[in-house]
Amino acid sequence: MDFTNWNLEQALDSFQQKLAACDDHESWQALRLSYLGKKQGLITGMLLAMRDLPKERKPLVGKQVNQLKQAVEQALKDSPHAEARSLRKSSLDVTLPGIRPKCGTLHPLTITRHRLIDFFRSYGYDVGEGPEIETTYYNFEALNTPESHPAREEADTFYIDDDRLLRTQTSGVQIRYMESHQPPLRMIAPGKVFRRDDDITHSPMFHQLEGLVVGPDITFGHLKGMLQAFARHLFGPNTVIRLRPSFFPFTEPSAEMDVSCPFCESGCRVCKQTRWIEILGCGMVDPNVFEHVGYDPEAVSGFAFGMGIERIAMLSLGIPDIRLFYQNDRRFLDQFRGA
Protein backbone atom coordinates (compact mmCIF):
# COMPACT_ATOMS: atom_id res chain seq x y z
CA MET A 1 0.00 0.00 0.00
CA ASP A 2 1.11 3.46 -0.85
CA PHE A 3 0.30 5.98 1.86
CA THR A 4 0.90 9.04 -0.38
CA ASN A 5 -2.71 10.10 -0.64
CA TRP A 6 -3.81 8.53 2.57
CA ASN A 7 -5.59 10.67 5.09
CA LEU A 8 -6.64 9.75 8.63
CA GLU A 9 -9.75 11.87 8.67
CA GLN A 10 -11.11 10.42 5.46
CA ALA A 11 -10.41 6.86 6.58
CA LEU A 12 -12.19 7.48 9.89
CA ASP A 13 -15.07 9.11 8.14
CA SER A 14 -15.57 6.20 5.81
CA PHE A 15 -15.43 3.77 8.76
CA GLN A 16 -18.01 5.79 10.73
CA GLN A 17 -20.39 5.70 7.79
CA LYS A 18 -20.10 1.95 7.51
CA LEU A 19 -20.61 1.56 11.25
CA ALA A 20 -23.72 3.71 11.15
CA ALA A 21 -25.12 1.44 8.44
CA CYS A 22 -24.80 -1.63 10.68
CA ASP A 23 -28.19 -2.68 11.97
CA ASP A 24 -27.46 -5.91 13.76
CA HIS A 25 -24.68 -7.86 15.37
CA GLU A 26 -23.92 -9.78 12.18
CA SER A 27 -23.19 -6.68 10.12
CA TRP A 28 -21.20 -5.23 13.03
CA GLN A 29 -19.11 -8.39 13.13
CA ALA A 30 -18.47 -8.29 9.39
CA LEU A 31 -17.35 -4.67 9.62
CA ARG A 32 -15.04 -5.45 12.54
CA LEU A 33 -13.35 -8.24 10.57
CA SER A 34 -12.97 -6.07 7.50
CA TYR A 35 -10.99 -3.55 9.57
CA LEU A 36 -9.33 -5.53 12.30
CA GLY A 37 -9.40 -9.14 11.05
CA LYS A 38 -6.03 -10.86 11.29
CA LYS A 39 -5.98 -11.82 7.64
CA GLN A 40 -8.18 -9.53 5.60
CA GLY A 41 -8.42 -6.58 8.01
CA LEU A 42 -7.75 -3.17 6.40
CA ILE A 43 -5.82 -1.83 9.39
CA THR A 44 -3.88 -5.06 9.78
CA GLY A 45 -2.90 -4.67 6.14
CA MET A 46 -1.80 -1.08 6.73
CA LEU A 47 0.40 -2.03 9.63
CA LEU A 48 2.07 -4.64 7.46
CA ALA A 49 2.45 -2.25 4.52
CA MET A 50 4.20 0.27 6.72
CA ARG A 51 7.26 -1.94 6.72
CA ASP A 52 7.97 -0.88 3.17
CA LEU A 53 7.80 2.85 3.88
CA PRO A 54 10.91 4.99 3.82
CA LYS A 55 12.21 5.48 7.34
CA GLU A 56 11.44 9.19 7.56
CA ARG A 57 7.74 8.72 6.85
CA LYS A 58 7.25 5.83 9.27
CA PRO A 59 6.76 7.82 12.50
CA LEU A 60 3.96 10.04 11.17
CA VAL A 61 2.10 7.35 9.22
CA GLY A 62 2.55 4.91 12.10
CA LYS A 63 1.05 7.40 14.51
CA GLN A 64 -1.93 8.00 12.24
CA VAL A 65 -2.60 4.33 11.58
CA ASN A 66 -2.47 3.68 15.31
CA GLN A 67 -4.88 6.55 15.93
CA LEU A 68 -7.18 5.08 13.33
CA LYS A 69 -6.94 1.67 14.94
CA GLN A 70 -7.75 3.02 18.39
CA ALA A 71 -10.68 5.12 17.11
CA VAL A 72 -12.06 2.14 15.20
CA GLU A 73 -11.73 -0.18 18.21
CA GLN A 74 -13.43 2.35 20.47
CA ALA A 75 -16.28 3.05 18.05
CA LEU A 76 -16.86 -0.68 17.54
CA LYS A 77 -16.98 -1.18 21.29
CA ASP A 78 -19.48 1.65 21.76
CA SER A 79 -21.82 0.43 19.03
CA PRO A 80 -25.24 -0.85 20.17
CA HIS A 81 -24.62 -3.92 18.03
CA ALA A 82 -21.42 -4.86 19.82
CA GLU A 83 -23.14 -7.72 21.62
CA ALA A 84 -25.42 -10.31 20.10
CA ARG A 85 -28.16 -9.10 22.41
CA SER A 86 -27.36 -6.43 24.87
CA LEU A 87 -28.44 -8.64 27.72
CA ARG A 88 -25.98 -7.36 30.22
CA LYS A 89 -26.88 -3.76 29.62
CA SER A 90 -30.64 -4.21 29.88
CA SER A 91 -32.56 -4.87 33.05
CA LEU A 92 -34.34 -7.88 31.52
CA ASP A 93 -34.00 -10.93 33.74
CA VAL A 94 -34.41 -13.89 31.41
CA THR A 95 -34.57 -16.30 34.34
CA LEU A 96 -37.87 -14.86 35.60
CA PRO A 97 -40.85 -17.21 35.06
CA GLY A 98 -43.10 -16.05 32.18
CA ILE A 99 -46.53 -14.51 32.56
CA ARG A 100 -49.11 -16.93 31.23
CA PRO A 101 -51.43 -15.23 28.74
CA LYS A 102 -55.06 -15.61 29.83
CA CYS A 103 -56.70 -18.14 27.55
CA GLY A 104 -60.37 -18.49 26.69
CA THR A 105 -62.35 -21.68 27.24
CA LEU A 106 -65.07 -23.41 25.31
CA HIS A 107 -68.48 -22.08 26.36
CA PRO A 108 -70.53 -24.67 28.28
CA LEU A 109 -73.15 -24.55 25.53
CA THR A 110 -70.47 -25.31 22.94
CA ILE A 111 -69.16 -28.17 25.09
CA THR A 112 -72.69 -29.57 25.36
CA ARG A 113 -73.41 -29.13 21.65
CA HIS A 114 -70.15 -30.96 20.82
CA ARG A 115 -71.09 -33.79 23.19
CA LEU A 116 -74.51 -34.14 21.61
CA ILE A 117 -73.17 -34.04 18.07
CA ASP A 118 -70.42 -36.56 18.90
CA PHE A 119 -72.96 -38.92 20.39
CA PHE A 120 -75.38 -38.82 17.46
CA ARG A 121 -72.56 -38.90 14.90
CA SER A 122 -71.38 -42.14 16.49
CA TYR A 123 -74.79 -43.58 15.52
CA GLY A 124 -74.41 -42.40 11.94
CA TYR A 125 -76.48 -39.20 12.11
CA ASP A 126 -75.70 -36.45 9.61
CA VAL A 127 -75.67 -32.82 10.79
CA GLY A 128 -78.15 -30.57 8.96
CA GLU A 129 -78.52 -26.79 8.94
CA GLY A 130 -81.20 -24.26 8.22
CA PRO A 131 -81.56 -20.46 8.31
CA GLU A 132 -82.34 -18.60 11.55
CA ILE A 133 -84.59 -16.27 9.57
CA GLU A 134 -87.17 -18.76 8.37
CA THR A 135 -90.41 -18.69 6.44
CA THR A 136 -93.74 -19.49 8.07
CA TYR A 137 -93.90 -22.43 5.67
CA TYR A 138 -90.87 -24.24 7.13
CA ASN A 139 -91.41 -23.14 10.71
CA PHE A 140 -95.12 -24.00 10.87
CA GLU A 141 -97.04 -25.06 7.78
CA ALA A 142 -94.91 -27.93 6.55
CA LEU A 143 -94.75 -29.10 10.16
CA ASN A 144 -98.50 -29.58 10.14
CA THR A 145 -99.08 -26.55 12.35
CA PRO A 146 -102.34 -24.95 11.21
CA GLU A 147 -102.85 -21.22 11.08
CA SER A 148 -105.03 -21.35 14.18
CA HIS A 149 -102.39 -23.03 16.34
CA PRO A 150 -101.42 -21.00 19.43
CA ALA A 151 -97.69 -21.46 18.66
CA ARG A 152 -98.15 -19.20 15.65
CA GLU A 153 -99.35 -16.28 17.71
CA GLU A 154 -97.39 -13.08 17.69
CA ALA A 155 -97.20 -13.30 21.45
CA ASP A 156 -94.69 -16.16 21.07
CA THR A 157 -93.04 -15.48 17.74
CA PHE A 158 -90.80 -12.71 16.44
CA TYR A 159 -92.32 -11.99 13.04
CA ILE A 160 -90.34 -10.03 10.46
CA ASP A 161 -93.29 -9.72 8.08
CA ASP A 162 -96.27 -11.89 7.20
CA ASP A 163 -94.14 -14.64 5.69
CA ARG A 164 -90.88 -14.44 7.59
CA LEU A 165 -89.92 -14.89 11.23
CA LEU A 166 -87.04 -15.78 13.53
CA ARG A 167 -87.41 -19.54 13.75
CA THR A 168 -89.04 -20.68 16.98
CA GLN A 169 -87.77 -24.26 16.69
CA THR A 170 -85.18 -26.28 14.79
CA SER A 171 -87.91 -28.66 13.60
CA GLY A 172 -88.12 -26.81 10.27
CA VAL A 173 -84.65 -28.11 9.38
CA GLN A 174 -86.25 -31.58 9.17
CA ILE A 175 -88.33 -30.36 6.26
CA ARG A 176 -85.42 -28.72 4.45
CA TYR A 177 -83.34 -31.87 4.95
CA MET A 178 -86.05 -34.23 3.67
CA GLU A 179 -86.57 -32.00 0.63
CA SER A 180 -82.95 -32.53 -0.37
CA HIS A 181 -82.42 -36.14 0.76
CA GLN A 182 -84.16 -39.43 0.19
CA PRO A 183 -84.85 -42.01 2.93
CA PRO A 184 -83.38 -43.89 4.68
CA LEU A 185 -81.86 -41.01 6.66
CA ARG A 186 -80.66 -40.02 10.09
CA MET A 187 -80.00 -36.39 10.89
CA ILE A 188 -79.66 -33.91 13.70
CA ALA A 189 -79.92 -30.13 13.47
CA PRO A 190 -78.43 -28.03 16.27
CA GLY A 191 -79.00 -24.28 16.21
CA LYS A 192 -80.34 -21.04 17.63
CA VAL A 193 -84.06 -20.44 18.08
CA PHE A 194 -86.01 -17.37 19.20
CA ARG A 195 -89.14 -16.81 21.24
CA ARG A 196 -90.80 -13.86 22.93
CA ASP A 197 -89.88 -15.11 26.39
CA ASP A 198 -87.61 -13.59 29.00
CA ASP A 199 -87.49 -14.66 32.63
CA ILE A 200 -85.44 -16.75 35.05
CA THR A 201 -85.86 -19.95 33.07
CA HIS A 202 -86.46 -18.52 29.56
CA SER A 203 -84.28 -16.53 27.22
CA PRO A 204 -85.52 -14.89 23.98
CA MET A 205 -82.68 -16.70 22.18
CA PHE A 206 -81.71 -20.23 23.06
CA HIS A 207 -80.44 -23.39 21.36
CA GLN A 208 -82.16 -26.55 20.28
CA LEU A 209 -81.13 -29.83 18.80
CA GLU A 210 -83.54 -31.59 16.51
CA GLY A 211 -83.31 -35.23 15.48
CA LEU A 212 -84.97 -37.15 12.66
CA VAL A 213 -84.78 -40.74 11.49
CA VAL A 214 -86.74 -41.99 8.47
CA GLY A 215 -86.74 -45.45 6.92
CA PRO A 216 -88.95 -48.27 5.76
CA ASP A 217 -89.72 -49.79 9.17
CA ILE A 218 -88.91 -47.26 11.85
CA THR A 219 -90.92 -47.85 15.03
CA PHE A 220 -91.54 -46.22 18.38
CA GLY A 221 -89.28 -48.94 19.84
CA HIS A 222 -86.37 -47.54 17.82
CA LEU A 223 -87.11 -44.07 19.20
CA LYS A 224 -87.20 -45.32 22.77
CA GLY A 225 -83.96 -47.30 22.42
CA MET A 226 -82.21 -44.31 20.88
CA LEU A 227 -83.37 -41.95 23.61
CA GLN A 228 -82.40 -44.36 26.34
CA ALA A 229 -78.86 -44.69 24.97
CA PHE A 230 -78.68 -40.91 24.68
CA ALA A 231 -79.86 -40.30 28.27
CA ARG A 232 -77.39 -42.81 29.70
CA HIS A 233 -74.54 -41.35 27.69
CA LEU A 234 -75.25 -37.85 28.98
CA PHE A 235 -76.46 -38.38 32.51
CA GLY A 236 -74.79 -41.65 33.51
CA PRO A 237 -75.38 -45.40 33.06
CA ASN A 238 -78.00 -45.65 35.81
CA THR A 239 -80.29 -43.07 34.21
CA VAL A 240 -83.88 -44.23 33.68
CA ILE A 241 -86.17 -42.60 31.11
CA ARG A 242 -89.94 -42.15 31.15
CA LEU A 243 -92.13 -41.31 28.16
CA ARG A 244 -95.38 -39.45 28.80
CA PRO A 245 -98.04 -39.01 26.10
CA SER A 246 -98.10 -35.47 24.74
CA PHE A 247 -99.01 -33.47 21.66
CA PHE A 248 -96.96 -31.90 18.90
CA PRO A 249 -98.49 -31.05 15.51
CA PHE A 250 -95.69 -32.76 13.55
CA THR A 251 -95.64 -36.11 15.40
CA GLU A 252 -98.33 -38.69 16.08
CA PRO A 253 -98.20 -40.23 18.58
CA SER A 254 -96.13 -37.69 20.53
CA ALA A 255 -94.41 -37.95 23.87
CA GLU A 256 -92.37 -35.99 26.34
CA MET A 257 -89.35 -37.64 27.84
CA ASP A 258 -88.27 -37.37 31.47
CA VAL A 259 -84.98 -38.61 32.89
CA SER A 260 -84.48 -39.76 36.46
CA CYS A 261 -83.05 -36.77 38.36
CA PRO A 262 -79.24 -36.86 38.02
CA PHE A 263 -78.88 -34.94 41.31
CA CYS A 264 -80.85 -37.00 43.83
CA GLU A 265 -82.52 -40.29 44.68
CA SER A 266 -85.37 -39.10 46.81
CA GLY A 267 -86.33 -35.65 45.52
CA CYS A 268 -84.51 -32.31 45.45
CA ARG A 269 -84.92 -28.67 44.45
CA VAL A 270 -83.91 -29.29 40.83
CA CYS A 271 -86.54 -32.01 40.20
CA LYS A 272 -89.01 -30.20 42.49
CA GLN A 273 -89.21 -33.32 44.67
CA THR A 274 -90.60 -35.36 41.75
CA ARG A 275 -87.37 -37.33 40.97
CA TRP A 276 -88.06 -36.78 37.25
CA ILE A 277 -86.87 -34.03 34.93
CA GLU A 278 -88.44 -33.33 31.55
CA ILE A 279 -85.84 -32.93 28.83
CA LEU A 280 -87.34 -33.33 25.37
CA GLY A 281 -90.29 -33.77 23.05
CA CYS A 282 -90.53 -36.58 20.53
CA GLY A 283 -92.81 -38.82 18.52
CA MET A 284 -93.49 -40.62 15.27
CA VAL A 285 -93.43 -38.30 12.24
CA ASP A 286 -96.98 -37.34 11.24
CA PRO A 287 -97.92 -38.62 7.74
CA ASN A 288 -98.95 -35.06 6.81
CA VAL A 289 -95.34 -33.97 7.26
CA PHE A 290 -94.13 -36.68 4.89
CA GLU A 291 -96.67 -35.55 2.34
CA HIS A 292 -95.30 -32.01 2.42
CA VAL A 293 -91.86 -33.26 1.37
CA GLY A 294 -93.14 -35.78 -1.16
CA TYR A 295 -92.39 -38.96 0.81
CA ASP A 296 -94.92 -41.78 0.66
CA PRO A 297 -96.27 -42.27 4.23
CA GLU A 298 -97.25 -45.80 3.28
CA ALA A 299 -93.68 -46.68 2.37
CA VAL A 300 -91.71 -44.96 5.13
CA SER A 301 -92.05 -44.13 8.79
CA GLY A 302 -89.89 -42.10 11.10
CA PHE A 303 -89.31 -40.64 14.50
CA ALA A 304 -88.29 -37.15 15.56
CA PHE A 305 -87.19 -35.47 18.74
CA GLY A 306 -86.22 -31.99 19.85
CA MET A 307 -84.49 -30.70 22.95
CA GLY A 308 -83.16 -27.47 24.42
CA ILE A 309 -79.37 -27.46 24.60
CA GLU A 310 -79.40 -25.00 27.55
CA ARG A 311 -81.48 -27.41 29.56
CA ILE A 312 -79.21 -30.35 28.79
CA ALA A 313 -76.15 -28.23 29.68
CA MET A 314 -77.73 -27.07 32.96
CA LEU A 315 -78.50 -30.64 33.98
CA SER A 316 -75.30 -32.31 32.83
CA LEU A 317 -72.94 -29.57 34.08
CA GLY A 318 -74.93 -28.53 37.17
CA ILE A 319 -75.70 -24.94 36.12
CA PRO A 320 -78.55 -23.40 38.17
CA ASP A 321 -79.59 -20.32 36.14
CA ILE A 322 -80.06 -19.99 32.36
CA ARG A 323 -78.90 -16.33 32.40
CA LEU A 324 -75.38 -17.42 33.36
CA PHE A 325 -74.88 -18.66 29.79
CA TYR A 326 -75.20 -15.22 28.27
CA GLN A 327 -73.41 -12.97 30.76
CA ASN A 328 -69.90 -13.97 29.66
CA ASP A 329 -68.58 -13.71 33.18
CA ARG A 330 -65.08 -15.20 33.05
CA ARG A 331 -65.40 -16.56 36.60
CA PHE A 332 -68.34 -18.66 35.43
CA LEU A 333 -66.85 -19.71 32.10
CA ASP A 334 -63.45 -20.66 33.59
CA GLN A 335 -65.11 -23.40 35.64
CA PHE A 336 -65.69 -25.47 32.51
CA ARG A 337 -62.08 -25.50 31.38
CA GLY A 338 -61.43 -29.04 30.18
CA ALA A 339 -65.02 -30.19 30.92
Q: State which residue, 109 or 304, has the beta carbon closest to ligand DAH.
A: 304
Using CA atoms, how far residue 74 sits from 12, 13, 31, 127, 272, in Å, is 12, 14, 13, 72, 85
| Shortest distance in whole angstroms from residue 94 CB to ligand DAH | 58
Q: CB of residue 211 vs ligand DAH: minimum separation in angstroms?
A: 7
Q: How far is the CB of 128 from ligand DAH (least distance, A)?
A: 13
Nearer to ligand DAH, 190 or 281 (CB): 281
In this complex, which beta carbon is closest to ligand DAH, that of residue 64 or of residue 174? 174
- For ligand DAH, the closer CB: 73 or 132: 132
- Residue 274 CB, nearest approach to ligand DAH (Å): 20
Quickly count: other Cβ atoms within 10 Å of residue 253's Cβ. 14
CB nearer ligand DAH, residue 125 or residue 336: 125
- Smallest gap from residue 121 Cβ to ligand DAH (A): 18
Please name every residue paired with 194 in a beta bridge, in sequence order, or none if there are none.
205
Q: How far is the CB of 273 from ligand DAH (least distance, A)?
A: 25
For ligand DAH, give the closer residue by CB, 19 or 304. Answer: 304
Q: Which of 235, 250 has the CB closer to ligand DAH?
A: 250
Residue 15 or 250 with smaller CB distance to ligand DAH:
250
Contact 19, 27 (CB under 8 A): no
- Closest separation in Å from C-beta 284 to ligand DAH: 8
Tell me how far, at minimum, the Cβ of 208 lies from ligand DAH, in Å. 6
Q: How far apart are CA 321 and CA 164, in angstroms?
A: 31
What residue ranges bind ligand DAH (CB under 6 A)? 169, 171, 210, 248, 251, 281-283, 304-306
User: Per residue, what are the HEC states of the chain?
Assistant: CCCCCCCHHHHHHHHHHHHHHCCCHHHHHHHHHHHHCCCCCHHHHHHHHHHHCCHHHHHHHHHHHHHHHHHHHHHHHHCCCCCCCCCCCCCCCCCCCCCCCCCCCCCHHHHHHHHHHHHHHHCCCEECCCCCEEEHHHHCHHHCCCCCCHHHCCCCCCECCCCEEECCCCCHHHHHHHHHCCCCEEEEEEEEEECCCCECCECCEEEEEEEEEEECCCCHHHHHHHHHHHHHHHHCCCCCEEEEEEEECCEEEEEEEEEECCCCCCCCCCCCCCCEEEEEEEEEECHHHHHHCCCCCCCCEEEEEEEEHHHHHHHHHCCCCHHHHHCCCHHHHHHHCCC
Q: How far is the CB of 319 from ligand DAH (least distance, A)?
A: 20
Instruction: Give which of 248, 255, 251, 247 is closest to 287, Cα–Cα.
Output: 251
Report which residue's Cβ sits closest to ligand DAH. Answer: 306
Q: Which is nearer to ligand DAH, 72 or 223 (CB)?
A: 223
